[in-house]
Amino acid sequence: MIHKFTMIILLLGMVALTGVLSAADAPAAPAARPNILFILSDDHAYQAISAYGDARQLIATPGIDRLAREGMRFDRCLVTNSICGPCRATILTGTYSHINGFYNNTNSRFDGSQPTFPKLLQAAGYQTAIIGKWHLESDPTGFDHWQILPGQGEYYNPAMIRDGQKIATKGYVTDIITERCLDWLKNRDPSKPFLLMCHHKATHRIWEPALRHLAADGDRVYPEPASLFDDYAGRGIAEHDQDMTIARTMTAQDLKLVPPRDLNAEQRVAWDAYYEPRNAAFRAANPQGRELVRWKYQRYLHDYLGCVRAVDESVSQLLDELDREGLSANTIVVYSSDQGFYLGEHGWFDKRWIFEESLRAPLLVRWPGITPPGSACDRIVSNLDFAQTFLAAAGLPAPQRMQGASLIPVLHGSTPEHWRTSFFYQYFEYPTPHHVRPHYGVVTDHYKLVQFFGTGEDYRELFDLSDDPGEMTSVLGQTQRAGIQAELEGELQHLRRELLVPDKFPAKAFGNTRLPDND
């Protein structure tokens, strides 16, 4: 059932790509090297993009949906390690955490000397820039210009670092990043192809919307996910023992029961005018139990989706600017998020897990003349593939250390015969924050086999996505699935060997503690 995801070496600008056509069969990049606009948001759940058709219909995102209408929507873009810094390192390098060295957000620091796709594009004559969130501790390399947020950054009046110099800004972070990207596009060197990485802080916790969007939903009551009150029956200690629930984990700051610390006086007036009457009503009602959880969920959705609104406006503005500058026809536009995110499913927010809402990131790509408008892809692709795709689009060879596959054949509308049908996942950061236990596993279209490890309570779980798309019950050990389980176990070991996964990881991989055994 599971086809092996084998390594095929491609010539003529595509080397070390896993599971792709031969060089003779692969579609070539256009003669004119395309520009690349890569828009990345933080923690943007695919459920919060209307092009993905979530049953709750949480929000309309016309800007992002334009990319789906004019390009390709990927329905199964999986990440290697569902947490912000490691995903960004994977995107830059085309490698897993155990290769690029960035395992977690606690003590990892990105080694900027290693090969990255921006460095290779820059060396090949591209003008390169990154504006917005970086979150990799070291300074960016491979960019002619960079203006980044220190650490996570703030939503209002954020400090930024511009080409190594700290600067102050005034306004809302999504707007500031967008305006700077628009300025860069207008003032770039028009004789060179460009790579512009517009990387938003939103929709990261603490979910502070722009003032103009505070009342945008009209106090809508959002539909609840079926698993909002999940009791984790049918699963093991990891699901029971986590600390990322809407019920227990969210703080007063998350819930806007206290104002943000970075508002100026004028912003504070507008903020209080919206939140204070609603907070007073909440305190007077004093909900308890499930009603309190429901109130928290509604406040969370209001704030999170408010952040999405500004990002969607940003996408529209950037696409309009490409049109005005006459750049749209030869510019690849990619929209994605560093990973998926929970919007109340299983009672959770955040990410980290191999489970679907965390594992799966949105990905939409518009490439005029190459990608069929309004198309969709349900094959397994990954943030691991981005670096090799960008390099192949520019006609450049990829370093052999890269572990992904160029998406160019898929973007042409033709999936290679040997494309991956299984995917390896790994997560390390433990015990804080959120107390999600380290795990790795293998994912296919229909199954997930998960190995929790390193905490002294190691065990496996198996999920049948066809019968249980919500991943509510492990079916490990069931007689009728014995053959599938054995096949998945074999595939997991095959992928670990192929991807050079070590038998043990360094203690620093986990960030917070030395685990007793990390086999």
Residue where one domain finishes, among candidates 381, 402, 417:
417
Q: What is the mean pLDDT of residues 484-512?
A: 96
Share of the chain above pLDDT 90, in %: 91
Same domain, 349 and 406: yes
Per-residue pLDDT, 415: 87
d(Cα 222, Cα 226) in Å, to the nearest integer? Answer: 12
Domain boundary among 417, 448, 469: 417
75 plus 131 within the same structural domain: yes
Can you tell me the mean pLDDT for 43-61?
98
In this structure, is residue 222 part of a structural domain? Answer: no
Whether 429 is in a domain gets the answer yes
The answer as to whether 246 is a domain residue is no
**How many other C-beta atoms are found inside a 10 Å radius of the C-beta of residue 187?**
9
127 lies in the same domain as 162: yes
Indicate if 123 and 88 belong to the same structural domain. Answer: yes
Asked if pLDDT for residue 437 goes beyond 80, the answer is yes
Identify whether residues 55 and 130 lie together within a single domain. yes
CATH of the domain at 474: 3.30.1120.10
**Read out DSSP for 65-115?**
HHHHHHSEEEEEEE-SS-SHHHHHHHHHHSS-HHHHS---SSS----TTS-
What was the pLDDT predicted at 17?
32
Distance CA 88, CA 40 (A): 10
C-beta atoms surrounding 400 within 10 Å = 12
- Residue 318 pLDDT: 98
Contact 345, 48 (CB under 8 A): no
Q: Which amino acid is at 348?
A: W
300-326 burial code (b ≥16 CB/10 A, e <16):
bbbbbbbbbbbbbbbbbebbebbeeee
Q: Quick one: which of 209, 205, 201 has its CA closest to 302? A: 209
| Pair 396, 436 in one domain | no
As a whole number, the mean pLDDT across the chain is: 93
If asked whether residues 315 and 339 sit together in one domain, one would say yes
Query: What is the Cα–Cα distance from 56 to 53, expressed in whole angstroms?
Result: 8
**Residue 507: half-sphere exposure toward Cβ, Cα within 13 Å:** 5
Q: Tell me: the pLDDT tens digits for 455-490?
A: 999 999 999 999 999 999 999 999 999 999 999 999
* Dihedral (CA of 353, 249, 107, 387) sign: positive
235, part of any domain? no
Give residue 26's pLDDT. Answer: 39
CA–CA separation, 95 and 91 (whole Å): 8
pLDDT over threshold 80, residue 21: no
Radius of gyration of the chain (CA): 22
The pLDDT value given to residue 32: 84
Predicted pLDDT of residue 51: 98
Residues 374 and 434 in one domain: no
> What is the residue range of 469's domain?
424-510
Query: pLDDT confidence of 177, banded at 50, 70, 90?
Result: very high
Tens of pLDDT, residue by residue over 211-253, are 999 999 999 999 999 999 999 999 999 999 999 999 999 999 9
Residue 285 lies inside a defined structural domain of this protein? no
Same-domain check for residues 406 and 429: no
Q: Are the C-beta atoms of residues 410 and 71 closer than 8 Å to each other?
A: no
Average pLDDT over residues 443-453: 98
Contact 494, 2 (CB under 8 A): no
Give the tens place of pLDDT for each residue, 327-364.
999 999 999 999 999 999 999 999 999 999 999 999 99
8 A C-beta contact, residue 314 and residue 179: no
Summarised one tens digit per residue, pLDDT across range 61-71 is 999 999 999 99
Domain boundary among 388, 417, 446: 417
Specify whether 43 is located in the same domain as 174: yes
Instruction: Count other Cβ atoms within 10 Å, centred on residue 413.
Output: 13
Q: What is the pLDDT, as a whole number, of residue 11?
A: 31
Here the CATH number for the domain that contains residue 385 is 3.40.720.10
- 30: pLDDT strictly greater than 50: no
pLDDT, tens digit, 9 for 90 and up, residues 94-135: 999 999 999 999 999 999 999 999 999 999 999 999 999 999
Residue 487 located in a structural domain: yes
Mean pLDDT of 49-57: 97
pLDDT at 24 over 60: no
Say what the pLDDT of residue 512 is.
74
Tell me the DSSP string of 189-201.
-TTS-EEEEEE--
Whether 172 is covered by a domain: the verdict is yes
CA atoms within 13 A on the CB side of 34: 26
In contact, 19 and 420? CB cutoff 8 Å: yes
Same domain membership, residue 465 and residue 360: no
Same domain, residue pair 119 and 136: yes
213: in domain: no
Q: What whole-number distance in Å separates Cα of residue 90 and Cα of residue 96?
A: 6
Helix intervals (H) in 325-473: 356-359, 386-393, 408-411
CA distances from 345 to 2, 297, 348 (A): 29, 10, 6
Q: Count of domains in the chain? A: 2
Q: What is the mean pLDDT of residues 420-439?
A: 97
